[in-house]
Amino acid sequence: MAESTDSSNVPRHIAFIMDGNGRWAKARGLPRLKGHEAGAETVRLVIRCCRDWGVRYLTLYAFSTENWRRPALEVNGLMRLLQKFLQENEGGLHEHGVRLRVIGRRGDLPGSVRREVERVEAATVNYDSGELILALSYGGRVEIAEAARRIAEKVAKGELKPGAVNEKVVTDHLYAPDVPDPDLVVRTSGEFRTSNFLPWQSVYSEWLITPVLWPDFSESDFQAVIEAYTRRNRRFGGVESGVTKESNG
Ligand code: IPE
Ligand code: IPE
Ligand code: MG
């Protein structure tokens, strides 16, 4: 299993767009929330797979800024599920030294959920065996817009010169500036769109779309994703590694 793949090629950071919970439930004649509950089990599985394969950073798109448009019943159910997930899985974070952090408009979250999230963030802040990054009320455009606003405020106060604003300065004002860009973004359930996920950070990520619905995503799907990634040739606008300017003629 893990031994068959060169560990130096394993992505350092994988981000998942966890999609398909609703369709999974519908196919079984169940309410959508049952799909989200099943999806929470996949989250546990994927956290374990990342640990087993040595993936250091795992980002999970759990709730988008657009998901507030869903019926209140579903939104409330998701918030409750999130709180329950944190309560049930905090022990695992401590046991394995994994730091939790949240990216997104945390002020949008119900007070009790926000307090729970921030309590676990604070309790795990010094861990460095891995990072679990939950995107909650996350929108990529609003992340960039908020960064722009904070940069503008610094410029207005004279703390920053307009000419000094570059890519690094923008990155430094995002939600988690020190987290490396995702090497791989995986979307389950077959949609070919980004749905406002990590637009700044994913410009050179490898993307992988699988038809598997999130609650059905298994350990062997995880392995297949890693193996597909290791076969990709990332060039970052350059030429294949090992090919020099001269030999490329
Ligand atoms: C993803 O599953 C989970 C969230 C967006 C919270 P969906 O709920 O979007 O499932 P589908 O797309 O309706 O199948
Ligand atoms: C993206 O899925 C958001 C999350 C997985 C949290 P959606 O189901 O909300 O995306 P769209 O609406 O199909 O683009
Ligand atoms: Mg969906």
Q: Is residue 166 part of a domain?
A: no
The answer to the question of residue 170 being in a domain is no
Spans in the chain with pLDDT lower than 70: 1-7, 242-249
pLDDT, position 235: 94
Ligand 2 neighbour 19 (Cβ under 6 A): yes
Q: What is the pLDDT of residue 3?
A: 43
Count of domains forming the chain: 1
Q: Which amino acid belongs to residue 28?
A: R
- In the three-class reduction of DSSP (H, G, I as helix; E, B as strand; rest coil), residue 187 is classed as strand
Ligand 3 centroid–CA 28 distance in Å is 16
- Is there a catalytic annotation at residue 89? no
Which pLDDT score, from 0 to 100, does residue 6 have? Answer: 62
Q: Pick from 62, 92, 94, 66: which is nearest to 78 by CA? A: 62
pLDDT at 243: 58
Q: CA 226 to CA 191: how far, in whole Å? A: 20
Residues in the chain: 249
* pTM: predicted TM-score of the whole model, two decimal places: 0.95
CA 248 to chain centre: 37
Q: Which pLDDT value is given to residue 247? A: 44
Tell me the CATH number at 207: 3.40.1180.10
Q: Which of 18, 60, 75, 195 to mutate to test the pocket of ligand 2 (most atoms within 8 A of CB)?
A: 195
Position 240 scores a pLDDT of 82
Range of the domain at 36: 11-138+181-230
Q: Strand 184-187: give its sheet, edge to edge.
A: 98-103, 130-138, 57-64, 13-17, 184-187, 206-209
Domain annotation covers residue 249: no
pLDDT digits (tens, 9 = 90+) for 209-231: 999 999 999 999 999 999 999 99
What's the pLDDT score for residue 8? Answer: 72
> Is 247 among the domain residues?
no
Residue 185 CA to residue 225 CA, distance in Å, equals 10
| Residue 245 in domain | no
Residue 149 lies in a domain: no
pLDDT, the chain, mean: 95
Q: Would you say residue 165 lies in a domain?
A: no
Q: Would 44 be classed as within a structural domain? A: yes
Query: Pick the catalytic residue: 19, 183, 196, 221?
Result: 19
Pocket probe for ligand 2: among 16, 46, 67, 68, the residue whose CB has the most ligand atoms within 8 Å is 67
* Structure-block tokens of residue 180: 């490396």
Q: 37: CA distance to ligand 2 center in Å? A: 16
Please indicate whether residue 38, judged by its CB atom, sits closer than 6 Å to ligand 1: no
